[in-house]
A and B are shown apart, each in its own frame.
Chain A
Amino acid sequence: MPKKQVSLDVRQLDNFVYDMSRCIKCKGCYWVEHTYMPGVNFSTRCPSNTWNDFDSYGAFGKMRIGMAVAEGRLPWTPKLLEIIYADPLCGACDVGCKRNLDLEIELSLEALRVKAVKDGAGPMPAHKKVAENIAKTHNQFGSPHQNRKKWVTGDIQVAAKADALYFVGCSASYLNPEIAQATAKTLNASGTPFMLMPDEWCCGNTLYSVGMVDEAQALARRNVDAVKATGAKTVILSCAEGYRMWKTDYPKMLDVATRDLGFQVMHLVEFADAMVKKGTLKPTKPVNARVAYHDSCSIGRLADSWIPWKGERGWMGTVSPPLKRRRGTEGLYAEPRNILKAIPGLNFVEMPRTRENAFCCGAGRGTKEAFPQLASFSAKHRLDEVKSVGAELLVSACPWCKNNFALAAKETGNPVKVMDISELILASV
C-alpha cells in the first residue's frame, strides 16, 4: 500500500480516517478504566453516552458515524448534529482508548465539528450566539466589554509590569468574581507580582471547541501576540478551560509546540502547589469540612503539551517520523491534592472516579449552552458520587465546573457546598 501523508491538523477530517476506521468498539472510551473500575456503581466516564444510551453517543459510535461523514454517506441532520455536539469533549474517550491503542479520538471529534462548520451545518444555534457575543463584546455572554475588570477590588494589588500575567477569562470576570478575587489575592499573599492583560479578550474556548477554528485561530493569534507584547514570562489561569486553550489548543491552531509559545502556561493549582512547597504560601487557617475534589477535565486528561506533527502513515499503520502521542499523562492531579492536604481541618476523601477517570461536570466546551439537559444530567450524576463518599464540600478548579455543580445542587435541593479551589486556598491563608 502506498504511504499516506497525514498530520494532526483537525481542519482535515481525512487526517483521522485511519483512527476512526480502527476503533475496535472496546468501549475503553466509555467505561472507567478497568484497573480502577470501582464496581457496578459509577462505572462509566463518558457523559454523552451515560446521558443517552444509544451507542452513537459514545466515541465508539461516533467513530463509525465519523467514517460515514468522511465518506459522504450521512447527510447533516438535526440528529447527527446532536450526536456530534452533545458532548463536552472531556477527553475521557481519548485517554481511555490510548491506554492500549494509538488512535486520536479527541482530535477526530474536534475534526468532525470543524467539518460540520465547514459544511455550513454546525455549530448549534446557541454556539452561534456565543460567537456573535465574542465578536461584538469580546466575551461569551455579550456583557459590556468595559466591565471586564470590574471584579478588581481595592485590596488587590495589580502590577503594571511583572513576570506573571493572570489571564482571568470571561467566567471569572463576569460570573464568578469570587474566583478572580481569590486567585488575585492568593497571588498577592504569596508575594508574586502579576499583571493583567491590558485588554483581555475571550480565550475562544467555545469557538474552538465547536469547530469554528478560523475565528478561534484569529483570537489565538491576537491573544498570544498581546501576551508577548506585555513581556510576561508566565500566564497563570484559574479556569481549566482557559488553561487548556492556552497550553494546548493555541499551539495546535498556531502550529507551534507549547514550549515554543514564548511563555509558560500555568494553572493556579500548579502555582499554589509550588508556593506552598516553597513556603511562600502558608495555609494556616483551618477549614473544617469533609471535602471531595473533582478533577476538571481541562487540567487533567486534556492538559498534555502540544507538539505539531506531520508525516506519513504506511506499513501496518505505522507513522514516521516518530510521534509521541498525548495520552493525558501530564494531568495536574497531584497538585490540587497536595494543596488540599496542606490545608488544616480538611478531611479529604477521594471519589470512586478520580484523575483520568473523573466524570466530567458536563458544562464545558459549548455543552451547557447547547445542551443544558446534558450538563444538568452530568452534574447531578457526579453529585451522587460526591454524596456516596459523604462529602459536604465539593472543590474543583474551573468556574464552569463550579457553576454547573452549584446549579445542579440547587435544583435537587442538595446541601453540598460547591467551591473553587482558589476560594479554599484564600480561606486558609
Chain B
Amino acid sequence: MAIVKEAYKALEAIVGSKYISDDPAICEGYRSGPGGYESGLGYERVMTKIPAAVTLPRNTEEVQRIVKVCNRYKVPYVPYSTGFYGPRSHCHVENELLVDLKRLNDFEIDEKHFYAVVGSGVIYSPLQEEAMKRGAYVIIGGGGAQASVIANLIGDGWSPLSHRIGLPHRRILGTEVVLPDGELLKLGTLAVGEDPFWGDGIGPDLRGLLRGYTGLRGCLGIVTKMAVKLLPFQPERLVPTGISPNTALALPEKRVKWVNYQMPSKEAQVKAMFEIGKAEVGGAVTKVPLFWRAIAKAESKEEFWQIWGKENADTIKNFHIVRVLFIGFTSEEQMQYDENVIGDIMKELGAVTRPTKPSDESWIKNADSAGMWLMCGSYVSVDYVIETLSQAVVHGESYADLKRKYTPPLMPDYGDPGWFQSFELGHQGYSEFLIYWDQDEDTTGVDHFYLETSKMNIKNRYYTSLLGPHQPLYLTGPKYGPNYHEWLLKIKDEFDPLWVCHPPVPLAHDAFVEKADWMKPVKDWKSPEVLKKVPI
C-alpha cells in the first residue's frame, strides 16, 4: 500500500521531509481502533484503513498545495485534527493520505470583540483558559476539552451551556476552507480582507457548506482557520484544585454555582425546563441521568458496577434531577435574581434543592468526557438532537424501548430514556442517547441497533443527528426534505468532482451496509449501485 510516488515527492517538497512519512510504524500509530469513539464496531472494522502516508502541514497555504497535488495524482486524502471522533475521521480506502492538521495551531484573541482565531490544531481547553483569563467563555462540546475547536464547530458543538449560548452554527465567524479540489474559499469578512471579525456571507452564506445539523466528517474540504465567537462570562477566577484524578474547578460562589434540584416527577422536570426558559434565566439547565452520578462517584470500573448494580428500573424512573448552572454575568445581584426566579419555579413544582458541590468537574473545562468509556470500554452517542423540548422528552422514550431489544450486548441501563436539556432559553430542546458495550462481545446487535434507531426516527417523525454521513444516505435521504441526499450529493459532485476528499463519505455508511454480511438482514431500502459512485 503506497501513495503514488510522484505525489509523495511533490508532497515532501511542500512540507519538508521531516513532516511526511510512509513508514509502516508511523502509519500504524494512526489506526482508528480498536478503542475509541464508535470503535470496536462493524463500521470501524470494515471501513477504516491505516494511512499509506501521513503529512503534517503548517498553514493554509501548505494544505492547499497538498490538496492540489492529491487532485492532480488522484490521491485520496482525509483531514484529521485530533482523530478523536473515531472511525469516521480516519482513512477509509487504500493508498490514502492522512493530513494531520495539528501543526495548524496558531491562536489570536480579540478580547474587546469577543472572538478568537484558531487553526485546526487548537483544542478547547487552551481556548477556554485564554477566554476565561479575559472574562469570556466558550461552550466546550460534550466530546470533551480535547476536541479540536474547528472540528467541533463544524461537527457538533453543544453542552448544557447551550441553554443560553445556542447553536454552534452561529458562532462561526471569518473562516478559511480549502475546498476538495484545492480552491481556497474565504468566508465572512475574510472574503474581502484580513479581518475575520464577522461571519455572514456576502449575500447567500456559504458557511452553509461547512456542516449540516451535524458535520460532513471532512468530505467537503478542509477548514484551516476560523474565528470563533467567545461569550461574555463573569470576572471572577475559577481555580483549578486537586490532584489527578480528583481535579475540579473551585467556583466563585457568588458568581458561578451549580445547583441540583430534585423534582417530584418527570412532568415536573420537563415543566421546570420550560419555565426556566420562559423566565430567561440560568447559564445551563440539564437533566442528569442517574448513571452519570455513578460514574462521578466511582473510582474504578468495578466500583461503578457495584454502585450501578444497586439501581433498577424503578430507581431510574423516580430519579429526576434538574441541574442548573447559575452565572452572575452582570453582578452578584443578578445571580441572586436568577436564583430567586428559579427558586420560585422550583417551589411551584414541589422540588427540593439538593446539596451541590461548589466546584465544576465537567462542563466548564470538560476534563472528564473520557469517563464515558470507563464502564464498558466502548461507547458512542447514537443520536443527539437539537429540536424542541417537546420532541426531546418523547424521543427518549421511543429510544429506550428500542434499546431494550438490544440489551445485551448493550450495557444494562434499566430503561434510562437518555439525557435531555433546554437549549436557547427553551426555544429548543436537546436529547442525546449514549450506548455502551464491550467490543470483545459480538457487536452485531450494536450495529443493528444503530441502524434501527435511524428507522425509528423516520417512523416516528423525529429530527435526528443520524443524517448525512452518519447513517446510510439512501435510507435517510428520501425521508427528510424530502430527498436532501440528492442535493448533498450534487454539492459533493460539484465541489469534489474526483471524490478524492475523504472517499467514500458521505456514502460511507451506505458502503458499510453493502460490504458487511451481517447488515444484510436490516437493509430494507433501495440504493443505487453505491460503490460504483466512488471512482476510486
Contacts and interface: CB of A to CB of B under 8 A. Distances in A.
Task: Note whether A and B contact each other (Cβ less than 8 A).
Answer: yes
Interface in A75-105: 77, 79-80, 83, 95-102
A37 B145 CA distance: 10
Contacts of A315: 438
A318 to B, nearest CB: 5
Contacts of A38: 126, 129
A40 B130 contact: yes
Interface stretch (B154-162, B334-342, B364-372, B448-456): B364-372
Interface stretch (A57-65, A170-178, A232-240, A259-267): A57-65
B146 A31 contact: yes
Nearest to A76: B25
A327 B29 contact: no
A22 B374 CA distance: 10
B244 A318 contact: no
A32 B242 CA distance: 14
Contact of B377 (A26, A36, A62, A316): A316
A39 B408 CA distance: 43
B28 interface: yes
Q: Is the interface of B mostly helix, strand, loop or mixed?
A: loop
Contact of A355 (B107, B243, B441): B243
Interface string B140-165: 00001110000000000000000000
B133 interface: yes
Contacts of A328: 243-244
Interface in B73-132: 82-84, 100, 102-103, 105, 107, 122-130
Contact of B301 (A21, A54, A317): A317
A22, A79, A98, A317: which has the most chain B beta carbons within 10 Å? A22
Nearest to A317: B377
B83 A25 contact: yes
A363 interface: no
B249 A35 contact: yes
B247 A99 contact: yes
Interface in B1-56: 19, 21, 23-26, 28-31, 33-37, 39, 54, 56
A38 to B, nearest CB: 6
Contact of A79 (B25, B124, B128, B370): B25
B248 interface: yes
A53 B376 contact: no
A68 B29 CA distance: 9
A84 B102 CA distance: 21
B126 A43 contact: yes
B61 interface: no
A99 B126 contact: no
B109 to A, nearest CB: 9
A7 interface: no
Given A79-B23, A83-B29, A100-B368, A95 B35 contact: no
A56 B29 contact: yes
Given A34-B145, A64-B28, A319-B302, A100 B129 contact: no
Contacts of B302: 318-320, 322-323
B402 interface: no
B535 interface: no
Contacts of B127: 40
Interface in A47-73: 53-58, 61-65, 67-68, 73
Interface in A1-55: 1, 18, 21-28, 31-40, 43, 53-55
Nearest to B31: A64
Nearest to B37: A24
A339 B455 CA distance: 65
A83 B245 CA distance: 28
A39 B129 contact: yes
A315 B242 CA distance: 32
A64 to B, nearest CB: 4
Contact of A316 (B23, B144, B438): B438
Contacts of A79: 23, 25-26
B29 A28 contact: no
A31, A43, A95, A317: which has the most chain B beta carbons within 10 Å? A317
A77 to B, nearest CB: 6
A318 B125 contact: no
Nearest to A355: B243
A123 interface: no
A296 B1 CA distance: 43
Contacts of B105: 40
A331 interface: yes
B178 interface: no
Contacts of A68: 28, 31
Nearest to A100: B370
B419 interface: no
Contact of A327 (B30, B35, B244, B378): B244
B305 interface: yes
Nearest to A58: B29
Nearest to B147: A26
Contacts of B82: 25, 27
Contacts of A24: 35-37, 39, 84, 370, 373
A107 to B, nearest CB: 16
Contacts of B130: 39-40
B468 to A, nearest CB: 22
A271 interface: no
A54 B370 contact: no
Nearest to B30: A55
A371 interface: no
A1 B25 contact: no
A318 B25 contact: no
A26 B369 contact: yes
A319 B300 CA distance: 10
A259 B439 CA distance: 37
A33 B29 contact: no
Contacts of B365: 34-35, 37
Given A39-B130, A55-B83, A101 B371 contact: yes
A68 B27 CA distance: 11
B370 A26 contact: yes
B267 to A, nearest CB: 34
Contacts of B244: 33, 95-96, 98-99, 327-329, 356
Given A36-B247, A99-B244, A64 B29 contact: yes
Nearest to B248: A35
Contacts of B145: 31, 34, 37
B375 interface: yes
Given A56-B25, A61-B30, A316 B247 contact: no
A83 B107 CA distance: 29
A23 B36 contact: yes
A377 interface: no
Nearest to A102: B301
A325 interface: yes
Contacts of A327: 244-245
A100 B146 contact: no
B304 to A, nearest CB: 9
B242, B243, B441: which has the most chain A beta carbons within 10 Å? B243
A74 interface: yes
B378 to A, nearest CB: 8
A333 interface: yes
Contact of B28 (A57, A74, A331): A74
Contacts of A18: 377
A316 B305 CA distance: 10
Contacts of B531: none
In the A-B complex, the 8 residue pairs with the smallest Cβ-Cβ separation, listed nearest first, are A56-B29, A61-B29, A34-B367, A100-B370, A37-B125, A34-B145, A34-B125, A35-B247
30 contacts: A21-B35, A21-B439, A22-B378, A24-B35, A24-B36, A24-B84, A26-B146, A34-B366, A35-B240, A35-B249, A37-B126, A37-B129, A39-B133, A40-B126, A53-B100, A54-B54, A55-B54, A56-B30, A58-B29, A65-B28, A68-B28, A74-B24, A80-B25, A83-B26, A100-B245, A100-B368, A100-B369, A316-B377, A317-B301, A323-B300
Given A37-B128, A327-B244, 5 more contacts: A37-B365, A40-B105, A67-B31, A74-B28, A79-B26
